[in-house]
Amino acid sequence: MTTKKTKPSALDRIDGPADVRAVPEEDLPFLAQEIRDELVRAVSKTGGHLGPNLGVVELTVALHRAFDSPKDKILFDVSHQGYVHKMLTGRRRDLDTIRQHGGLNGFLLRTESEHDCYGAGHAGTALSAGLGMAAARDLRGSDEHVVVVAGDAAFTCGVSFEALNNVAETTKRFIVVLNDNEWSISKNVGAVASYLSKITTNPAYAHLHEQAAKFIQAVGGRGALALAHKVETGVKHMLLPSVIFEDLGFRYYGPIDGHDTALLERTFEFLKTQNEPVLLHILTTKGKGYPPAMQQPDKFHGLGKFKPDTGETEPAAAPTYSQILGTKLADFADHNNRIVAITAAMAGGTGLSIFEKRHPDRYHDVGIAEEHAALFASGLATQGFKPFLTIYSTFMQRAYDMLIHDIALQNLNVALCMDRAGLSGDDGPTHHGLFDIGYLRHVPNFVFMQPKDEEEFTDMLWTMANYRKGPIAIRYPRGAGTGAKPKEHPQILEIGQSEVLRHGRRVLLLGLGNMVEMAEQTADLLAARGIDAAVINARWIKPLDTQTLEFFARAAEVVCTFEDHVLHHGYGAAVMEALGEARITTPVVRIGWPDQFVDHGKVDLLREQHGVTAAAAVKKILAELKQEPAMAKSSPAA
């Protein structure tokens, strides 16, 4: 019996970029397949951004063969497609820890590796940051290359064009790779996507490009690529009279096959010799090599654990807040033709894909352009429509000027739906929605709220749909809530009226949103020690229910607030301000997140680490009551 001989692993021999350059060219397809197999295996256990990384395998290998990281600077826009880069820069054996507490970050992180020259989790940052690095190089007189990898979705982001507008007058040596896969998270939309499609689908240009690519690959070398570009440029200008990138001062090359490592490497070697800004347009397939990800690019952009053989994920036990929003907003729009839904490239993530199917004429995905989305909503509102601007809390930060200058100042009837408010778990600090209370509660004219569960969420959405006195905002967490059933027939809530859940005298517990449950747990722990506590479902961040607050706070010995937000300028700070203005001196202790960027990891683990727990609340309350925990009645839960 003979044993079948298997090819030695190329990936096992890679501990850094020098090892990538040492791989024989004939072994590159084998290496690419090994990387894909490893990505699917690891991400199936941890969850993460699978599709984007499967699509940049050959590109990342070619980058590390043609350039010398960390001397040369390689920037990935958003950087969620940086898993392959991590694998090739000494972190492959830690891939199983990605997005796990204490493990690799799901995005690039300057503190994680010298090869991560720039960290980001939001789109559109790489061109500007890379241009800054190129300018610094020129001022310093050094010779490193700066390479920016940006997906086509990043070119729907206005800040990318702000950078492109300044490249030609800033530096002569700058390489941009436009990774064109027709997707951001949702399908790319707008004129930029259409423009790129015209370049890549014109039959004459496609034929020309194919012949040019074959010529380059067959002959190789600088002269071959220069000649191919000369021919290509002539025809290109006949087909497309104005090529936008060349009008902006770039020498445009492509589009070429983004899954041909050898062609990419030779092209990069040529581009390194150019003394002018260059843009290489490559075509890739999101999810390449893994059929489930290719069939459902939006689902496999970022997902939880799944079965690697089939791509199946565990069914959700309960609908998420996002899904409830999409369903209820579509229901409301059935009877109100002035409701319009807007998102910024996040149809699935925000739940608006449900709305889109039922009301396509009143659904708008503007691409990764949050500032434009907010202004677009403002224009709709001036004409009597009710726009629901549905954007993650962490991404709404990008539209902050518009929230003040356009929506609030003009007192427009825009509804802000801030998904992923609070901790976003494994995605880490770029995606935690921990700052929205601080950046919104002080803005005049805004009403701002957060629901304790799914049932109250539907009431709040209905309240928003019927509110006509100016801007109104809601924040809600990622995923499912307590499992409460959404209401079939929601009610309009009284603005600024909180809900008393328990009466008590010694301690006042104020829970905001998903933290009401923790306030209830704290009340139970205090009751076990013979301490009675009132529990209030705050509901309203602005306006505060000062009447209820003052009534209970005057009688209490301690007030304790709970919020899924940083303590600085948060809900607890608002309570302290209100009590101070009323000259009520009852001490206030606050449970929330510290003045630092919180790491990635499971929510329960991070709460325990940072003292965002009922047990921590009890300890703080007892200290104010001058009652030591050791002297109180024991309780297993405490």
The pLDDT tens digits of the residues spanning 381-416 come to 999 999 999 999 999 999 999 999 999 999 999 999
Which of 412, 440, 475 is the endpoint of a domain? 475
Same domain as 517, residue 454: no
CATH value at residue 566 = 3.40.50.920
28 assigned to some structural domain: yes
CA distance 118 to 72: 12
Q: What does the pLDDT read at residue 291?
A: 83
Judge contact between 366 and 376, C-beta under 8 A. yes
Q: Which one is catalytic: 92, 99, 328, 398?
A: 398
Whole-Å CA distances, 282 to 56, 124, 152, 187, 201? 10, 18, 10, 18, 13
Catalytic residue among 34, 38, 182, 370: 370
Question: Number of folded domains in the chain?
Answer: 3
Clarify whether 172 is annotated catalytic: no
Q: What share of the chain is helix, strand, coil (3-state, %, to 5)?
A: 45, 15, 40
Whether 7 shows a pLDDT value over 50: the answer reads yes
- What would the mean pLDDT of 120-145 be, rounded to a whole number? 95
Instruction: State the helix-helix crossing angle for 614-624 and 516-527, rounded to 10 degrees.
Output: 60
Q: Are 459 and 583 in a shared domain?
A: no
Residue 597 in any domain: the answer is yes
Q: Which residue has the tokens 């600088």?
A: 222
In a domain, 315, yes or no: no
Distance, in Å, from the CA atom of 256 to the CA atom of 596, rounded to the nearest integer, reads: 44
Q: How far apart (Å, rounded) are the C-alpha atoms in residues 546 and 588?
A: 15
Q: What percent of the chain has pLDDT over 70?
A: 87
Same domain, 376 and 468: yes
Q: Are residues 259 and 170 in the same domain?
A: yes
Catalytic residue, chosen from 36, 266, 286, 441, is 286
Indicate whether 204 belongs to any domain.
Answer: yes
| Residues 125 and 253 reside in one and the same domain | yes
Tell me how far the alpha carbon of residue 128 is from its chain's centroid: 19
Q: Which residue has the higher pLDDT, 638 or 197?
A: 197
**b/e map of 597-610 (b: 16 or more CB within 10 Å)?**
ebebbebeebbeeb
225 pLDDT above the threshold of 60: no
pLDDT in tens, 438-492: 999 999 999 999 999 999 999 999 999 999 999 999 999 999 998 899 999 999 9
Helices (H) and strands (E) in the chain, counts: 26, 17
CATH code, domain carrying 164? 3.40.50.970
CB-CB neighbours of 31 under 10 Å: 22
**339 shares a domain with 279:** no
- Is a pLDDT exceeding 80 seen at residue 170? yes
Is 93 part of any domain? yes
- Is residue 48 located within the same domain as residue 174? yes
8 A C-beta contact, residue 227 and residue 270: no
Same domain, 506 and 471: no
Residue 467 backbone dihedrals phi, psi, to 5 degrees? -85, 130
Q: In whole angstroms, how far apart are CA 7 and each of 1, 4, 25, 31, 259?
A: 19, 10, 15, 11, 22
Q: Is the domain of 116 the same as that of 192?
A: yes
Task: Tell me 327's DSSP state.
Answer: H
Taking every pair of Cα atoms in the chain, the longest distance, rounded to a whole number of angstroms, is 90
Burial of 403 (0-12, 13-18, 19+ CB in 10 A): buried
pLDDT at 628: 56
Residues in the chain, overall count: 638
What is d(CA 592, CA 331) in angstroms, rounded to the nearest whole number? Answer: 35
Six-digit token pair at 286?
């999101």
Q: How many CB atoms are closer than 10 A to CB 638? A: 19
pLDDT at 207: 46
119 and 51: one domain?
Answer: yes
CB 541 within 8 Å of CB 448: yes
168 and 43 assigned to the same domain? yes
Residue 154: predicted pLDDT: 82
Mention every residue, 6+ apart, whose C-beta is less than 8 A from residue 277. 167, 168, 171, 172, 173, 174, 175, 176, 249, 250, 251
487 belongs to a structural domain: no
CB 493 within 8 A of CB 538: no
pLDDT above 90: residue 129: yes
pLDDT for res 186: 46
Task: Output the pLDDT for position 633.
Answer: 40
Q: Is a pLDDT exceeding 90 seen at residue 243?
A: no
Domain boundary among 261, 295, 329: 295
Which helix (H) or strand (E) segment is 537 a member of? Answer: strand 533-537
SS3 66: helix
Residue 638 inside a domain? The answer is: no
Tell me which H or E stretch contains 608: helix 603-609
Note if 502 is an active site residue.
Answer: no
Determine contact, residues 185/348, Cβ cutoff 8 Å. yes
Same domain, 405 and 264: no
31-45, 150-164, 221-235, 243-257: which is most confident = 31-45
Q: Convert 414-435 to b/e letters by CB count within 10 Å (16 or more is b).
A: bbbbbbbbbbbbbbbbbbbbbb
User: 5-24 burial, b for 16+ CB within 10 Å, e for fewer?
Assistant: eeeeebbeebeebebbeebe
Helix boundaries (H) for 47-89: 50-54, 57-66, 83-86
| Bridge pairing between strands 540-542 and 588-593 | unpaired
pLDDT over 90, % of the chain: 72
Residues with Cβ within 8 Å of 96's Cβ and at least 6 positions away in sequence, in order, are 42, 45, 46, 103
* Average pLDDT score over the chain: 88
First to last CA, the chain: 64
Q: Which DSSP letter does residue 306 get?
A: B
CA distance 178 to 49: 19
Q: From 442, 475, 508, give the residue that closes a domain.
A: 475
C-alpha 12/C-alpha 628 separation (Å) is: 56
Q: Sheet harboring 415-419: ordered strands across?
A: 363-365, 339-343, 386-392, 415-419, 472-475, 447-449, 540-542
**Whole-number pLDDT of residue 93:** 92
The encoded tokens of residue 637 equal: 């839960």
Q: How far apart are CA 470 and CA 459, in angstroms?
A: 18
pLDDT of residue 146: 98
- 567 found inside a domain: yes
Please indicate whether residue 221 or residue 256 has the higher confidence score (pLDDT).
256
Domain range for residue 357?
321-475
